[in-house]
Amino acid sequence: MARTTTLEGRDLQWAVWTPPFWSAQKSWPVILFLHGSAERGSDGVKQTQAGLGPALLLHPERWPAVVVLPQCPADLWWGDPVCERFAMEALQAGAREFSGDPARFLLTGKSMGGNGVWRLAADHPGTFAAIAPVCGFIRFDGAPPPKSYPGRGEPAEGEPHEDYAGVARAIGDVPVWMFHGANDRAVPVEESRMMERALKAAGRTVRYTEYPDGDHQIWDRAYADPELAPWMISRRKSS
């Protein structure tokens, strides 16, 4: 279902998906999906055609949740303040319209959207009950620099760089499941490996799936994992 949000003079497009068995008589988990750079635009459709969207259509029974799919404009990144605010407003609007449960807001995204997952989770701690970045990154050429999160100075040799460590601290204790392909030539696999090390150094529990034969386009495999949907949807924020 197509929706539009007007923000700072822009008409921003998003879509919302509900499972065939949706009913307004109960509250639902709400998944926010952030697409990759190739799906940017203003048609309101491309963001539904790669990543989580096809997985919803292939196995709707696996996803008993409302899913919000905003589309980032072609000239912006999820790290841009306008896109970040837009994503959060679309999440809230979808939850209001389709009986979403704020205690079960969930966040996932691929590639550029994986970067957006880390940024939104860090900028809005306590909002999400679980996050699942797919081939995501923190520091990478072409991306806006990460925000400055509370730091501890330069890391010792072998410790995670401050950007990764800062994000690991900023997201709090939200459950994390990351995915990446070992042969990714678009987003280096070291981005996820560094985040795994940073999360463990911060005392967090993290689940990481790395496909030894995977390249950049591993999102179909990740979202087809039969354990992912129940892992996410079973999560609920503690009071």
CATH of residue 111: 3.40.50.1820
Q: Which of 109, 108, 104 is nearest to 129 (CA)?
A: 104
By 3-state DSSP, what share of the chain in percent is helix, strand and coil, each rounded to 5?
Answer: 35, 25, 45
Assess if residue 76 is contained within a domain: yes
- Residue 115: inside a domain: yes
* pLDDT tens-place string over residues 186-218: 999 999 999 999 999 999 989 999 999 999 999
Domain assignment present for 185: yes
Alpha-carbon span 55 to 37, nearest angstrom? 19
Q: What pLDDT sits at residue 139? A: 75
pLDDT for 24-75, tens place per residue?
999 999 999 999 999 999 999 999 999 999 999 999 999 999 999 999 999 9
Residue among 147, 129, 126, 130 at smallest CA distance from 138 = 147
| Helix, strand, or coil (residue 55) | helix
Number of domain units in the chain? 1
> Residue 163 is encoded by which pair of tokens?
């950007």
What tokens were used for 122? Answer: 């860090």
Is residue 192, in this structure, part of any structural domain at all? Answer: yes
pLDDT at 81 exceeding the cut of 60: yes
In a domain, 9, yes or no: yes
pLDDT at 238 (0 to 100): 74
Going by C-alpha positions, the residue among 239, 120, 126, 114 that lies closest to residue 177 is: 114
Mention every residue, 6+ apart, whose C-beta is less than 8 A from residue 234: none
Is residue 154, in this structure, part of any structural domain at all? no
Which range of residues forms the domain containing residue 108? 2-19+27-144+161-233
Q: Is residue 10 part of a domain?
A: yes
User: Is beta strand 100-110 parallel, antiparallel or unpaired with respect to 66-70?
Assistant: unpaired
- Kindly tell me the sign of the dihedral angle through the C-alpha atoms of 88, 90, 91, 97: positive
Dump pLDDT digits (tens) for 215-226. 999 999 999 999
Q: Are strands 28-34 and 66-70 parallel, antiparallel or unpaired?
A: parallel
* Among candidate residues 92, 87, 85, 82, the one with its CA nearest the CA of residue 30: 92
Distance from C-alpha of 234 to C-alpha of 182, rounded to nearest angstrom: 28
The answer to the question of residue 149 being in a domain is no
